Structure 1
Amino acid sequence: MSTIKNYPRSFSHIGITVPRIREAVKFYSEVMGWYIIMEPSKVEKESDTAIGQMCIDVFGDDWNYFEIAHMSTSDGIGIELFSFPNGDKEAPEFRPFHTGLFHFCVQDPNIEELTKKIVKHGGKQRMPIREYYPNEKPYKMVYVQDPFGIVFEIYSHSYELTYSSGAYTG
């Protein structure tokens, strides 16, 4: 039996399709504080460049152009926003019991303030803010959604601290 060590891979970025890219960039930069790395730009279908061919490989032939913007969180995680003119503009149905991604999570020590800001800018609070370990750890969480219907979660503390035992001693 070999003992090959698997090391955890780091998270690079997530791609999110939105109905109106400029509104999404504004929301995510003003409300979430994410950095704009590349303003929204148009990508047209063509096979003369590596990027053009890659987009055809990924999206197939049933498109002519789309818009893309690149953003980043404070810890360097990339956010790719996509907007397709022929795509569905309705909020996605929340389907957590079906295979696939159903949320992402951000971290903010002032979970209450961020939740209010999201609601003020057209998003929704999907549940009350809850404590994960009442009387043990002051760790909170809440599910929200952006103005486009994309569901995400907010933690008050890091993922590792939230789920590890003995990580908080009051």
Structure 2
Amino acid sequence: MKNQYPKSFSHIGLTVPNIKEAVKFYSEVMGWYVIMEPSTIKKEAETAIGQMCIDVFGNEWETFEIAHLSTSDGIGVELFCFPHGVKEAPAFNPFNTGLFHFCIQDPNIEELVAKIVAAGGKQRMPIRSYYPNDKPYQMCYVEDPFGIVFEVYTHSYELTYSSGAYAK
């Protein structure tokens, strides 16, 4: 097949209940760069962004807030806040089709998990080791203060799984 190559990951979009609190959490706790402060998007077919949002969201909205952040490796995090949306996180149900979680990486997992909890998030499990007696690869599922579940790894995805995380 022609043009078979792995596509890169550009960004993820998260809907949050309060855009300013979310920007504060993700910039202060996660250290992500704010590349566009929160702003309001209006439903208007005359602007490019307005028309794109009508294409995506349909006509059942008038305005929403948006902010853009970036991780240290250039992955974008697009935050949305819709004034009439449900403000509670959906029930955690990894068994249903859909986005289950995203994962970030920090070699100091204990410190980051503690910062997440101190900022109003939750630690969903103990920090676990993939190779308890051999390698320092660790992971932990957490939640941000808004109930969005994500995972923390100490090492890269490639390194963790190319080493056979589940096999001896």
- Range class of TM-score, shorter chain: over 0.9
Structure 2 counterpart SS, 1:62: coil
Q: Alignment partner of 1:68: what SS?
A: strand
Displacement of 1:5: 5.2
2:35 counterpart SS class: strand
SS in 1 for 2:20: helix
Q: Deviations over 1:45-103 (max 9, x none)?
A: 00001211110000000000000000000000000000000100012210100000010
Q: Which residue of 2 aligns with 1:23?
A: 21
Q: How does 1:1-170 map to 2 (within 5 A)?
A: 3-4=1-2, 6-165=4-163
Indicate the SS of the match to 2:107.
Answer: coil
* SS of aligned partner of 1:90: coil
Give the Cα separation in 2 of the matches to 1:152 and 1:31: 14
3-state secondary structure, aligned to 2:160:
helix
The 1:128/1:57 distance shift into structure 2, 3 A limit, reads same
Question: Percent of aligned positions with the same letter in both sequences?
Answer: 77
- Quote the RMSD (CA, aligned, Å): 1.3
Report how many aligned residue pairs link the two structures.
165
Gaps spanning 5+ residues in structure 2: where? none
Structure 1's consecutive aligned runs of 4 or more residues displaced over 2 angstroms after TM superposition are none
The unaligned stretches of length 5 or more in structure 1 are none
Q: What CA distance in whole angstroms lies between the structure 2 residues aligned with 1:95 and 1:46? A: 36
